[in-house]
Amino acid sequence: MFLEFYGLKEQPFGVTPNPRFLYLGAGHREALASLIYGIEAGRGFLALIAEPGMGKTTLLFQMLQHFRPSARTAFLFQTQCTPREFLRFLLLELGCELNREQDLVAMHEALNRCLLEEARAGRHFIVVVDEAQNLDPAVLEMVRLLSNFETPQAKLLQIVLAGQPELAEKISRPCLGQLRQRLSVLTRLPPLPAEEVDRYVSFRLRAAGHAEDPIFTPQALSMIADLSGGIPRKINNICFNAMSLGYATEQYKIGQEVIGEVATDLDLSPLSPPADIHRLEREAMLPSTGRAEAPLLEAADLPLSRNKGGLDELSTPQALAYISEVVRLLRGGQRFA
């Protein structure tokens, strides 16, 4: 619609989880590094918590892309199901042949054979469950039991539960205490701070082929930051509608007036600060004794958000290379000041 008008090769603010458009800001870099390191360290059970629209699914695809050459992976998003249906979805995702009469025991045996084959080949086996806040407690308990697949040397299965803040609430319930104790990495995606919204918008435009003067004025970007609350999906919606309106009215430079009209059309208003889930995260990691059972890789242990030497300006390949180096150092036991 407006691609030629703005000198773009493709839609910069699409709604599909395309890893090429993943903006690796400080929060996303920390979360990605935590997940990669947790899997490579064989921690077994990991969780990612994010508000809706934070790019969680895109980040998960990027993580799986990192492991694709050396791992067998499964991505599950059908989370409103029974334990038997969940296991069936998992085996189908892995390409296993099933008949409708197979019970849970037979499906467990099929999964165990598959896991052992991958372990003999020296490959990771990663299962990502997206929108895990919708899982029934009985299904979550069954997922916990899957983590029991192991040899004396290592876990055979690396499980990543990803979901909205309600997932942290659910994990903290007393009935899921054993699952809570199994989680060794729990990280979250915070909204983008106001100063990163400008970089996010510029990154998406460059990825879509824009190489000329900025389209959005500084005042417009400030309004976008306020209206979106730093949620990437909301930023995308505002920018898409603003560029559509700019094209319709032949305004190449988009200022406050256009953003104000879009806000009125979309009935947007400044968002309140996101709910604080730090307490829930801490509770989700603590067993009844009050002490974590397993070492916890905290996002705060990683230096990514503190290193200010221009990291926010890195391209996606550069940022991924940086994350790989951090993971390599962490594997070697190096600590950061």
Which CATH number do you get for residue 255?
A: 1.10.8
Residue 288 domain-assigned? yes
DSSP code, position 311: G
Distances (CA, A) of 157 to 112, 128, 280: 10, 11, 26
Distances (CA, A) of 48 to 30, 223, 318: 11, 29, 23
Instruction: Please indicate, yes or no, whether residues 48 and 120 belong to a single structural domain of this protein.
Output: yes
- Look at residues 224, 246, 266 and tell me which one is the last residue of a structural domain: 266
Residue 4 domain-assigned? no
Q: Which residue, among 1, 61, 6, has the nearest Cα to 201 in the 3D structure?
A: 6
Residue 177 domain-assigned? yes
Residue 1 domain-assigned? no
Mean pLDDT of 317-325: 66
Instruction: Please indicate, yes or no, whether residues 41 and 110 belong to a single structural domain of this protein.
Output: yes
Instruction: Please indicate, yes or no, whether residues 129 and 84 belong to a single structural domain of this protein.
Output: yes
Instruction: Please indicate, yes or no, whether residues 34 and 162 belong to a single structural domain of this protein.
Output: yes
Question: What confidence tens digit (pLDDT) does each residue in 129-159 have?
Answer: 999 999 999 999 888 888 778 766 777 888 9
Residue 200 domain-assigned? yes
Predicted local distance difference test score (pLDDT) of residue 337: 43
Mean pLDDT of 160-171: 93
Instruction: Please indicate, yes or no, whether residues 110 and 126 belong to a single structural domain of this protein.
Output: yes
Predicted local distance difference test score (pLDDT) of residue 193: 94
- Look at residues 213, 232, 266 and tell me which one is the last residue of a structural domain: 266
Residue at token pair 């619609």: 1
β-pairing verdict for 124-129 and 158-163? parallel
Residue 164 domain-assigned? yes
Predicted local distance difference test score (pLDDT) of residue 306: 38
Instruction: Please indicate, yes or no, whether residues 171 and 211 belong to a single structural domain of this protein.
Output: no
- Look at residues 266, 291, 317 and tell me which one is the last residue of a structural domain: 266
Q: Indicate the number of domains in the chain.
A: 2
Stated pTM of the model: 0.75
Instruction: Please indicate, yes or no, whether residues 129 and 249 belong to a single structural domain of this protein.
Output: no
Instruction: Please indicate, yes or no, whether residues 233 and 167 belong to a single structural domain of this protein.
Output: no
Question: What confidence tens digit (pLDDT) does each residue in 5-64 have?
Answer: 888 999 999 888 888 899 998 999 999 999 999 998 888 889 999 999 999 999 999 999
Question: What confidence tens digit (pLDDT) does each residue in 191-216 have?
Answer: 999 999 999 999 999 999 998 788 99
Q: Which structure tokens are listed for 104?
A: 């849970």
* Among 149-158, 171-180, 210-219, 229-238, the least confident range: 149-158
Instruction: Please indicate, yes or no, whether residues 176 and 207 belong to a single structural domain of this protein.
Output: no
Task: Give the structural domain span for 227.
Answer: 193-266
Instruction: Please indicate, yes or no, whether residues 260 and 288 belong to a single structural domain of this protein.
Output: no
Instruction: Please indicate, yes or no, whether residues 51 and 125 belong to a single structural domain of this protein.
Output: yes
Instruction: Please indicate, yes or no, whether residues 28 and 169 belong to a single structural domain of this protein.
Output: yes
Report the mean per-residue pLDDT for the chain: 81
